[in-house]
Amino acid sequence: MGNGFQTSNQKSKGTSLGTIFAMPITGFLAASQLGWPSTFYLFGALGYLWILAWYFLGAGCPTEYPRITEEEKTYIQQSLSATQDELSDTPWWSIITSLPVWAVIVGLIGLNFGFTMLLTEMPTYLNKIHGISLKSNGVLSAMPYLVSFVFGNLYGIVCEHLITRGCVTRGTARKIFNSIGQFGPATALVVLAFLPKNAAIIAEAMLIVAVGTNTACTLGCIVSTVDLAPNYSGVIMGVANGIGQIFSIVAPLVVHFVVTNEEDQALWRTAFLTAAAVFITANLFFLLFSSGEVQPWNNAKTFTNNADTAKSEVSQ
């Protein structure tokens, strides 16, 4: 569980840290003579630089990495071979018919839809409804992600403490933190929906609440893939996150469809209440069907053999 938690937590912290730097830069460039298109050129160029860094510094396996120690290389190879020898083919049918897996998928749908709306639409909302300039907007929009970066570390410490001390079961911990991560932003979005115009301070406070609580989902639906099936967590995350990311595309389209006049607060209210409803629905599904226990099909070979034996006994 430790490695899976660390990977998910690092991903969350990396996303928040990147946004902290990106928002002020975006606001500065958008307000300059270069205009908003310059932000796309800048971050697109940085993407190409990352590709080059990945190509020259990354490796396909431990044996190909030039800066790994022999001790670390041996440990990784022995761990991988021990796991791979025990596994058979990916149990696709068991995965796609598993309600706990679908709880992860639905949780990620809610997370990606709501997070993307907060990330992409808040600068416009702050500017058009609360009169915050684009240059100031970038700094203010980055503040919630600074809080998210700090809280992401605190959530991890608290969650591990609750589980290791036996205060709650692993499954209960996942439900608690996923609820913080989705009910929290939903509540903040409802408040934002009914704020009067030019209430910039309260709007910023609600954004901090929304993004600061949203990061708790790292300890909920995201890391649940490792709880359910350590041997197939990568497969499950690939499928679940792939489906969830579709809704990262849907969220801005919904706002574009609903908010036809960016200065009409009633239209923003509809968009925010829609996002809040998605958050609430996704988390309710997660609460009902998620699990913190390793699923029987995690050891696919053993699971298949037991199923075959049971069928044989029934036929006899």
Q: Per residue, what are the HEC states of 13-49?
A: HHHHHHHHHHHHHHHHHHHCCCCCHHHHHHHHHHHHH
- Tell me the pTM: 0.76
Per the CB < 8 A criterion, the answer to whether 144 and 210 are in contact is yes
Angle at 238 between CA 83 and CA 171, to 5 degrees: 75
Tokens representing 79 are 């761990």
Please report the pLDDT score of residue 14 as a whole number.
Answer: 65
Task: With CA atoms as reference, report the closest residue to 186 among 264, 123, 114.
Answer: 114
- What is the average pLDDT across 259-281? 94
Tokens representing 256 are 């574009």
User: What confidence tens digit (pLDDT) does each residue in 226-240 have?
Assistant: 999 988 988 999 999
For the cut 80, the answer to whether the pLDDT of residue 285 exceeds it is yes
Per the CB < 8 A criterion, the answer to whether 117 and 271 are in contact is yes
Out of 12-16, 91-95, 226-230, 290-294, least confident range: 12-16
- What is the average pLDDT across 283-305? 84
User: What confidence tens digit (pLDDT) does each residue in 306-316 have?
Assistant: 555 444 444 44
Angstrom distance (rounded) from CA 88 to CA 300: 6
Angstrom distance (rounded) from CA 120 to CA 251: 9
For the cut 70, the answer to whether the pLDDT of residue 279 exceeds it is yes
DSSP classification of residue 216 = G
Please report the pLDDT score of residue 81 as a whole number.
Answer: 53
All structural domains of the chain, each given as residue ranges with its CATH number in brackets, are 2-35+87-315 (1.20.1250.20)
The residue among 121 and 288 whose pLDDT is bigger is 288
Q: How confident is the model at residue 87 (pLDDT cuts 50, 70, 90)?
A: low
Task: With CA atoms as reference, report the closest residue to 285 among 147, 112, 104, 16.
Answer: 104
For the cut 90, the answer to whether the pLDDT of residue 188 exceeds it is yes
Please report the pLDDT score of residue 40 as a whole number.
Answer: 85
Determine the distance from the C-alpha atom of residue 200 to the mean position of all C-alpha atoms in its chain, rounded to a whole number: 27
Distances in Å between the alpha carbon of 198 and those of 18, 62, 127?
A: 28, 55, 10
Angstrom distance (rounded) from CA 227 to CA 247: 24
For the cut 50, the answer to whether the pLDDT of residue 163 exceeds it is yes
Angstrom distance (rounded) from CA 239 to CA 237: 5
User: What confidence tens digit (pLDDT) does each residue in 19-72 have?
Assistant: 767 777 777 777 778 887 888 888 889 889 989 988 888 877 777 777 888 888
- What is the average pLDDT across 160-169? 92
Angstrom distance (rounded) from CA 151 to CA 81: 37
User: What confidence tens digit (pLDDT) does each residue in 131-148 have?
Assistant: 877 666 666 667 777 777
DSSP classification of residue 96 = H
- What is the average pLDDT across 254-259? 93
Angle at 304 between CA 301 and CA 307, to 5 degrees: 150
Amino acid in the structure at residue 97: T
Per the CB < 8 A criterion, the answer to whether 87 and 300 are in contact is yes
Angstrom distance (rounded) from CA 297 to CA 85: 16
Tokens representing 9 are 């937590």
Q: CA gyration radius for the chain?
A: 22
Q: How confident is the model at residue 296 (pLDDT cuts 50, 70, 90)?
A: very high
Task: With CA atoms as reference, report the closest residue to 292 among 239, 236, 240, 228.
Answer: 228
